[in-house]
Amino acid sequence: MTDAYPLWLIIFGLGIGSFGLRFVFLGLVGDRTMPDWLLRHLRYTAVAVLPALVAPLVVWPKATGGETDPVRLGAAALAFVCGYVTRSLYAAMGAGAAVMIGAAYWPY
Amino acid sequence: MPHASTRSAFLRGLRDGFPFLMVIAPFATLFGVIATEAGLDIFETLSFSVVVIAGAAQFTAIQLMSENAPTLVVLVSALAVNLRMAMYSASITPHLGRLPLWKRALVAYFLVDQTYASAAFDFEKHPDQTLAEKFAYFMGVVVPICPPWYVFTLAGAWVGEAIPQELGLDFVLPIAFIAMIAPALRTGAHRGAALTATLVALACAGLPWNLGLIVAALAGMIAGAELERRALQ
Instruction: Give the mutation candidate from A9, A22, A37 for the B interface (greatest B CB count, under 10 A).
Output: A22
**CB interface of A with B, residues 70-99, below 8 Å:** 72, 75-76, 79-84, 86-90, 92-93, 96-97
* A chain contacts of residue B176, beta-carbon cutoff 8 Å: 93
Q: What is the mean pLDDT of residues A45-60?
A: 86
Please give the model's pTM, rounded to 2 decimal places.
0.72
Nearest to B97 among A19, A31, A89 (CB): A31
- A28 — contact with chain B (CB < 8 Å)? no
Q: Given this model, what pLDDT does residue B169 score?
A: 61
Helix (H/G/I), strand (E/B), else coil: B54: coil
pLDDT of residue A31: 58
Q: CA nearest B201: which of B172, B226, B177?
A: B177
Domain spans, chain A: 1-32, 46-105
Interatomic CA distance for residues B45 and B76, integer angstroms: 20
> Which residue did the predictor score with more confidence, A46 or A32?
A46
Check pLDDT > 80 for residue A2. Answer: no
Residue of B nearest to A16 (CA): B52
On the CB side of A36, how many CA atoms lie within 13 Å of its CA?
A: 4
Test the B interface: residue of A3, A7, A44, A71 with most B CBs within 10 Å: A44
A41 CA to chain B: closest CA distance, Å? 5
Min Cα distance A101 → chain B (Å) is 11
For chain B, state the CA radius of gyration.
Answer: 19
Query: Is B194 close to A51, i.e. CB distance below 8 A?
Result: yes
Amino acid letter for position B22: M
Chain A residues with beta carbon closer than 8 angstroms to that of B75: 10, 13-14, 17
Q: What is the ipTM of this complex?
A: 0.81
Phi, psi of A63 (to 5 degrees): -65, -25
- Specify the DSSP element, H or E, that contains B5: helix B2-17
pLDDT tens for residues B46-102?
Answer: 999 999 999 889 998 998 898 888 899 899 989 988 887 887 888 788 889 889 999
CA B124 to chain centre: 22
The full set of domain ranges for chain B reads 2-169, 185-233
Shortest Cα distance, chain B CAs vs residue A49, angstroms: 5
Percent of chain B with pLDDT over 90: 48
Q: Quick check: B166 pLDDT over 70?
A: no
pLDDT of residue B167: 47
- Cα–Cα distance list, A40 to A37, B68, B78 (Å): 5, 32, 20
Q: What is the pLDDT of residue B209?
A: 64
The listed range with the strongest mean pLDDT (B66-75, B122-131, B173-182, B198-207) is: B198-207
Any residues with CB less than 8 A from the CB of B43 and at least 6 apart, and which? none
Higher pLDDT, A9 or A42: A9
How many residues are listed for chain B in this entry? 233
How would DSSP label each residue in B62-80? HHHHHTT--HHHHHHHHHH
Report how far residue B24's alpha carbon sits from residue B149's, in angstroms, rounded to the nearest whole number: 6
> What DSSP element (H or E) covers B96?
helix B84-96
Identify the top-confidence range among A55-64, B23-32, B114-123, B134-143: B134-143
Q: What percent of chain B has pLDDT over 70?
A: 94
**Short-list B182, B159, B191, B27, CA closest to A95:** B182
Q: Give tens-digit pLDDT for B183-212.
A: 889 899 999 999 999 999 999 988 876 678
Report CB contact under 8 Å: B175, A76. yes
DSSP track, B158-209: HHHHHS-GGG--TTHHHHHHHHHHGGG--SHHHHHHHHHHHHHHHHTTTSGG
Work out the average pLDDT over B110-125: 86
> What's the rounded Cα separation, in Å, for the pair B104 and B126?
21
Q: How many CA atoms lie within 13 A of B41 on its CB side?
A: 3
Burial B104-120 (b: 16+ CB within 10 A, else e): bbbbbbbbbbbbbebbe
Residues present in chain A in total: 108
Q: Is the pLDDT of residue B165 over 60?
A: no
Dist. CA B90–CA B74, nearest whole Å: 25
